[in-house]
Amino acid sequence: MDWFWPEGFYTVVMVGSFVLGAFALKLPIAIALSGAAIVGAILGGELFPLRHLVEGTFGYLDTILIIASAMIFMKSVQRTGLLESLAAWVIRKFRSRPLFLSVGLMFIIMVPGMITGSSTAAVLTTGALVAPVLIKLGVPAVKTAAVIAMGAIYGMIAPPINVPAMIIGGGIDMPYVGFALPLLVCTVPLAIFSAFLLVYPHLRSRTDDAEELESELRRMEETALSVRLLMPVILLAVLMAGEQMLPSVWPPLGLPVDFLLASLAALATGRSFNFLEASAEAVDDALPVLGILMGVGMFIQIMTLVGVQGFLVVSVLALPAWLMYLGMATSIPLFGAVSAFGAASVLGVPFLLALLGRNEIMVGSALSLLAGLGDLMPPTALAGIFAAQVVGEKNYFKVLRHCLIPALVTAVWAVVVIVNSNVIMSWLS
């Protein structure tokens, strides 16, 4: 493709403006995206198309509501003490079986990301909770941070909430339906592999201080694990399963309402907390992610308006097959260094359109996995930086070094899933 065509020039300028704002000027990602959208509109002769800017800002309103309500749910569950009690139960249950304990702790790290669609939420909640336990079990601090970073990314991609997949699907008007099993195929084998690689060898030959560990477990068990404590999670599972399995008789409440109802159920667990205060804190924590989604929506709207998105699709279609797979395995994670959501929209959508002969749900799931790897890419490396902070490691590159093999395996697995998407989907059916 001729990059000297107007659309090619617009593409370079828009992406360049985005990178300049995010890295050189140190602007928040949402502001950098918005600024790049305005630059693209002016360059394309649209001046300041207010209608399109506003329409783009609300393009991902459904996803924004889901993330905000999911964060309120996670904060409510955290205030009840459920996360600590669950982690303590897993450790006591599988302490003598290191392989199961490794996988169990990885799953606990993933849970907040699965519910909120944010790797940062996973790192700062269950990641911070599990970190001291892993260190007491004999896992080195930098490897503990690597486990937290990888678990947070896999949780972000695993069902039920996967924001990059929602963005990619939204780009071709594909509803976020039927993604649960494909996303499990994409993430569960990788989560088990990472746990086996990073955690299991240290637990198998552990020399932990039993007294220190026991003291930590007793602190985590201040709220005993019970059916009453699990009530918010049970209610959420019933509400979500009802909509999926009984659509003809179950009221279509929608995920935001499901999360809010389950959050209110946390008030009946016996652990008192200020629900309004917890909700305000949750929304405040979610604001950076919500802002990025608004910026992404504006950016994509202007890209479509001035012809950049169509240019990218045609450019990707012109690539030979081998180069397309190599390009998606490298370009999507690298672009994700600025924003995994931005990578999903700017590159994920064109690659999905170029692969329309394959099962779209399976391909979209694998592309979202590649986008999630962006949270490991410096200089932003959100998952790596926050995970390093959790364990007190100042140089996050030491953490990323231990993430290298899982990340490479993740990229290869995503390409394998895309190549065999039709076969895998027929097995799942």
Distance, CA of 391 to CA of 145 (rounded, Å): 6
Could you tell me the residue ranges of all domains in the chain? Answer: 6-428
- Look at the alpha carbons of 422, 424, 426, 429 in this order and tell me if their dihedral is positive or negative: negative
Q: Do the beta carbons of residue 70 and residue 64 sit within 8 Å?
A: no
Q: Do the beta carbons of residue 384 and residue 396 sit within 8 Å?
A: yes
Distance, CA of 5 to CA of 314 (rounded, Å): 13
Q: Do the beta carbons of residue 302 and residue 55 sit within 8 Å?
A: no
Supply the pLDDT for residue 3: 45
Supply the pLDDT for residue 261: 95
- Listing DSSP states for 253-281 in one string gives --HHHHHHHHHHHGGGSS----HHHHHHH
Distance, CA of 320 to CA of 323 (rounded, Å): 5
Supply the pLDDT for residue 205: 66
Q: Please, where are the H alpha helices in 355-395? A: 360-372, 382-391
Amino acid type, 229: L
Distance, CA of 207 to CA of 356 (rounded, Å): 52
Do you know the residue count of the chain?
A: 429
What is the token pair recorded at 137?
């079990």
What is the token pair recorded at 197?
């690689």
Amino acid type, 195: A
Supply the pLDDT for residue 2: 46
Nearest CA among 285, 363, 313, 406 for reference residue 1: 313
Global pTM?
0.81
297 to 35, 123, 167, 177, 180: CA distances (angstroms): 12, 26, 9, 21, 24
- Listing DSSP states for 101-112 in one string gives HHHHHHHHHHHH
Q: Do the beta carbons of residue 301 and residue 50 sit within 8 Å?
A: no
Distance, CA of 353 to CA of 172 (rounded, Å): 8
Distance, CA of 154 to CA of 190 (rounded, Å): 8
Query: Directed axis angle between helix 29-43 and helix 275-306, to 10°?
Result: 20
Give 376's DSSP letter: G
Query: Within 13 Å, how many C-alpha atoms sit on residue 329's CB side?
Result: 19
Q: Do the beta carbons of residue 369 and residue 185 sit within 8 Å?
A: no
Amino acid type, 381: A
Distance, CA of 135 to CA of 217 (rounded, Å): 13
- Write out the chain's pLDDT in tens, 429 residues: 444 468 778 888 888 898 888 778 888 888 988 999 999 999 888 888 999 999 989 887 888 898 889 889 989 988 998 888 888 888 888 888 888 999 999 999 999 899 888 888 889 888 888 898 888 888 899 999 999 999 999 999 999 889 899 989 887 888 888 899 999 999 999 999 999 999 999 887 665 567 777 787 788 777 777 888 889 999 998 988 887 777 778 888 888 999 999 999 999 887 888 999 999 999 998 888 788 888 888 988 898 888 887 777 777 777 787 788 888 998 899 877 767 887 888 788 888 988 888 999 999 999 999 999 998 988 667 788 889 988 888 888 899 999 999 999 999 999 999 999 999 999 987
Q: Do the beta carbons of residue 105 and residue 195 sit within 8 Å?
A: yes
Rg of the chain taking only CA atoms, in angstroms: 22
Distance, CA of 370 to CA of 384 (rounded, Å): 16
- Listing DSSP states for 20-67 in one string gives IIIIIS---HHHHHHHHHHHHHHHTT----HHHHHHHHTTTHHHHHHH
Distance, CA of 419 to CA of 429 (rounded, Å): 18
Distance, CA of 164 to CA of 364 (rounded, Å): 9
Give, for 195, the enclosing helix (H) or strand (E). helix 180-198
